[in-house]
Amino acid sequence: MNSVTETIKTESIQSFQSTIRKMEKGLAQMKEKGANTTLIEKRLHAMRIGLALLENVWNRQSHHYGQGVLSDARTVLRGLMPSIEKAYANSKTGSPQRTLLERRLKSLELAIQAIDEQCRECDV
């Protein structure tokens, strides 16, 4: 985590912030329609934890998450990877969408790594 460039750090944090904003808007729309929001709420919570861990590692900002919560967030974030990888594989080289997906994948990988480092005793 220490060998990550400032550019990657900035892009990763911005990627998480962007994803969180999009998920919050989607959640609000789903609530308006009366749809089941359990899954998106769980994913949004995991994304917020991932962002908090990156900010903790790189910007020394504190967080209040215990090992159980971190372990759950890690599982959810890992679960997001296959669909993003599939979308990435189907995107056109050089497209803005591909760049966005690439950054999202990298930020998720780094967040999972940060959780692993923070919570060495968590169940795998």
The whole-number mean pLDDT for each consecutive block of 10 residues of the chain, a chain of 124 residues, reads: 89 97 97 96 98 94 92 97 97 96 97 90 48
**Domain boundaries of the chain, sorted by first residue:** 6-118
d(C-alpha 31, C-alpha 118), whole Å: 34
Give the pLDDT score at 120.
74
| Residue 101: φ, ψ to 5° | -65, -40
Give the pLDDT score at 74.
96
Give the pLDDT score at 22.
97
For residue 26 the two structure tokens come to 């989607």
**Contact assessment for residue 112 and residue 74, using Cβ atoms and an 8 Å cutoff:** yes
37 residue type, one letter: T
**Contact assessment for residue 118 and residue 70, using Cβ atoms and an 8 Å cutoff:** yes
